[in-house]
Every structure is written in C-alpha cells, then in structure tokens.
Structure 1
Amino acid sequence: MLDRTNPGNLSKKAVLYRMVMAEHTCPYGLKAKDLLKRSGYEVDDRHLTTREETDAFKAQHGVATTPQVFIGEQRVGGYDDLRRFLGKPVADTKATSYRPVIVLFALTALMAMAASYVAEGSPFTLRAAEWFIAFSMVVLALLKLQNVESFATMFLNYDLLAKRWVPYSYIYPYAEGLAGVLMIAGALNWLSVPVAFFIGTVGAASVFKAVYIDKRELKCACVGGASNVPLGFISLTENLMMIAMAVWMAAASLGIPVGHAM
C-alpha cells in the first residue's frame, strides 16, 4: 500500500497523466507537474491529447477528473490529492477569509502613499490618508460592479435600506464609486460628502445591527457578491471610513481647522 504519511521514503519517481490538447492544456496538470518537480520527483509526463483518449483513461481508472498522479505503482489522485500527499495545505474555496480586504487595503494604502510621494515629496502626509480612503472606495466599488446582480443579492441579506427599497442595492456601488472619484479629485464636495456620509451611515447601522445585535453570521458584499469575507469588523470599518472622510471634508469646506484637506 502507498504510505501517504511519509512520501519521502518512496522512490522519487512519479507518473503524471494530464490533458494536453491543441485547444486546451489543463492548468491543474501544469501545477501538478511543477509541484512534483519542486518536491524532487522525476516526472514521467504522459499527455492525453484527445477527448476520446481522456474519457477512456477516466473509465479505465474509475476517476472523474484529470490530472492523475501515480507514485510507487499506486494512484495518488488529482492536484489537491497530490498536495495532501506531500503534506501541503489545500485551500477550502468555501471557507471565510479576510484576505481579499486585507490585500485591498494594503494596496490602496501603498497607492495613496505613492501618489502622495509624487505630489508632495513624501508618502507620509495627510493627503495620503485622504487618498487611501478615496482609493479604497473606488476599488471596492469596482469589485462590486463586476457583478452588480450578485452583489445586490448578497447586500439584501443585511442592508436596512435595501430591504425596504430594493433598487438601493443596485445604486449603492455606483454611489460609492462616484463619491470616491470625486474625493480623489477634490471636486463637487457638495455632492461627494453627503453621498459618502449617507451610504456610510446606513451601511454602518446595517452591519452593526446584523452582526452585533442580531448575531447573524453572514458574508459581506463589500468586495463583491462572490466573496467569502465574513460580515463584521472589516465591513463596519469600511463604512466608518466613509463617514469619517465625509465629516472631515465637510469640516474643511466650512472652514473648520482640520489640517490639510483635499
């Protein structure tokens, strides 16, 4: 039997069957070949070059998918099975994760600092902080607008206004994107400020009620309708950032000393 707990004791030879056709090369086959080579295996790379050949291989071995990896005359399985065999983690596509928003905020922060460096000679300025919020709003809107229907469906699970007036779930990402672009430009504050304040306030109240009062476990629509980001602190932070930005800009417009504002 194949000792899956200690692959290091086996011969470092593997046979890989993968689809390589004129119109399609299986990406998981390429990943499996690369993983085997990086793990020190000599790979006997066998191509399945036609649909008929692939179907015959599946029928012969009683498998539903390719690629298939064989080590020590025993079948290891597909790409995920190979990762498990080699003791490597396998991503759970259904698991909740904060990674999308962490990456998003990290990149928008770097974008803001880069823009500040070009404009003012330093990445650490008040304008960089302002741009960070505005850039984040635009990128978040972009992700939602990739599939507005999917976003709206998820948004309706918790947003208080959208539940009462469904069209708001479609308007929201456009409003967020518009406010963010205007804030980056420092233009039409009379429009961007109330829009950001309104959607931020409704959003914050909705998230707070759903998560901290009703104790519901939901996915956040903040990075689009297909995300696995849990509704909670990050979602609340997104809305509080919009409120803070709106208040900051409103104060600056009224002449209240708040430092440099856009």
Structure 2
Amino acid sequence: MTHTYKVTGMTCSSCEAKVKSSLLLLPDVTAVAVSKEKQTATITMEKHIPLSVFQHSLNEKYTISAIEHNETAEQAKSWVATYKPILLIFAYITAIALIAAIKYDAIDWMHGMNVFMAGFFLAFSFFKLLDLNGFADSYAMYDIVAKKWRGWGFVYPFIELGLGISYTIGFQSLLTNIVTIVVMTVSIIGVLKSVFNKRKIQCACLGAVFNLPMSTVTIIEDALMIVMSAVMLFSMLYR
C-alpha cells in the first residue's frame, strides 16, 4: 500500500532527511520518498497507518496531511481487514444462534444466547488449542493471572472448551454461568489495563493463529460474554 502525503515545514535538505528517517522508523513502513520542493512524502506501508501516527513521529515544525485518499475510509478498510477473522466468527455464531432461537411464531432469546455462548467458547478454544504454547506466551503479556502463573495460559483454553460443552449439553446451567462470569471478569481486567495504557500487544483471543491487536474489540468481546451469562443467570434465579 502506497500513499502520497502533503508535508509542510520542510525548508532544506536536512529537513527532507529528517522527515524521511523519522517515517522510516515506524513499524510497517517499508519505503519513504520525500521531496522538499513538492512538500510531499510518498510512503509505502504493509498496512494502512493512521495519519496521527505519522504526525506524532515527526518534529512539531512539520505537518502531514492526506492529499490523494480519504483518511476516514482508509482507516475503516484497515480496521475491517485487521479484525476480519473475529468479525466472521461472530457473524457465523450470531446467525446460528438466531436460527436456533426462532421457534414457530416467537423467538426464544434465552435459548439463542445459550447457543451463542456454546459456539463462542467452542470456536475460541479451538483456535487457542491450535498453538497452545503460543497462546500461553501471548496471554502472559496482559492477563493478571497468567502474568503470575504462566500455567494459567495452558489451562484457560480447556476451561473455555469445558464451558462450550456445558452450554451445548445444558450441563449445570447455574454453575456454568457463574463460572463464565468469574472467568471472563478476571480476563477483562487485564484487557482493560492494556487498552487504557495503550500497550501495543497481540490479543490472544484467537490464540497465536491470528495477529490481532489488543483494542476495544477485545473489551466488547469479553463484556458481551459477561452480560449474556449474567442475563441467563438472572433469568434462572428469578423465573
């Protein structure tokens, strides 16, 4: 991917060299051609990089702006491309859950959520188990339990697998939902700390198979599991 940007503030060859060297230091940037006469920088990158990242890398005397593309559209395309695996998985599981929830003229939302939870845990544990050691390494970078005991990274996928099977067969629904709330609450604490501290690390939600960055998507994923299990738990206790 190559884009040409307007860069103002360059007045000499030294400025040109500084802008080029600063941009080349950024991850995913593979080539940079800078012209002080045209006040431009043509940047080749492995994936789209937000304009704010480029600006942050430059000295405050230089200002960079997009001139040949729509920055908002490019960021949206880049976001979809980055999270495509998890978006597809959620789409499949949601579709199956909705189909399972439809009964005659009504929709059984509780059954639909149960199917969704089963599909979620079975699918996500599968990807983690494909490279258990890689998942444990990634998980230990941010999870509050795995940081202190790396073995938790080896145990966690099997807990997810057990929860997926439990939701599938309806085993001890009360206990299953309580365990889900506890496990996902512990998990989301480390995610929240990493996102709020703006740590650029790999999310281990799909194991080490896909290189997904830690972001609000991970928070939503964990929070959704907590909310759905809490709703089902409340429904069982007060029906």
TM-score, length of structure 1 as denominator length: 0.56
Q: Structure 2: which amino acid aligns with 1:102?
A: L
Q: Aligned-pair distance for 1:108?
A: 0.6
Q: 2:218 aligns with which of 235, 241, 245?
A: 235
Structure 2 residues without counterparts, runs of 5 or longer: 1-80
Distance across 2 between alignment mates of 1:100 and 1:116? 24
Q: Name the counterpart of 2:147.
A: 163
Contact 1:203 1:236 in 2 (8 A): no
Q: Structure 1: which amino acid aligns with 2:92?
A: L
| % identical equivalent positions | 27
Say which SS state the counterpart of residue 123 (structure 2) adopts. Answer: helix
- How far does the alpha carbon of each residue in 1:116-154 deviate from its partner, in whole angstroms, 9 at most, with x for none? 34xx23695402233223311211111111111111111
Q: Name the counterpart of 1:223.
A: 206
Q: Name the counterpart of 1:246.
A: 229
Q: Name the counterpart of 2:86.
A: 101
Distance across 2 between alignment mates of 1:137 and 1:248? 17
Choose between structure 1 and 2: higher strand proportion: 2
Q: Aligned-pair distance for 1:187?
A: 1.8
Superposed CA RMSD: 2.1
Cα 1:181–1:241 shift into 2, 3 Å: farther
Say which SS state the counterpart of residue 206 (structure 2) adopts. Answer: coil
Structure 1 residues without counterparts, runs of 5 or longer: 1-95, 258-262
Larger Rg: 1
Say which SS state the counterpart of residue 213 (structure 2) adopts. Answer: coil
Q: Does 1:140 align with 2:127?
A: no
TM-score, length of structure 2 as denominator length: 0.61
Distance across 2 between alignment mates of 1:170 and 1:131? 25
How many residues are aligned here?
159
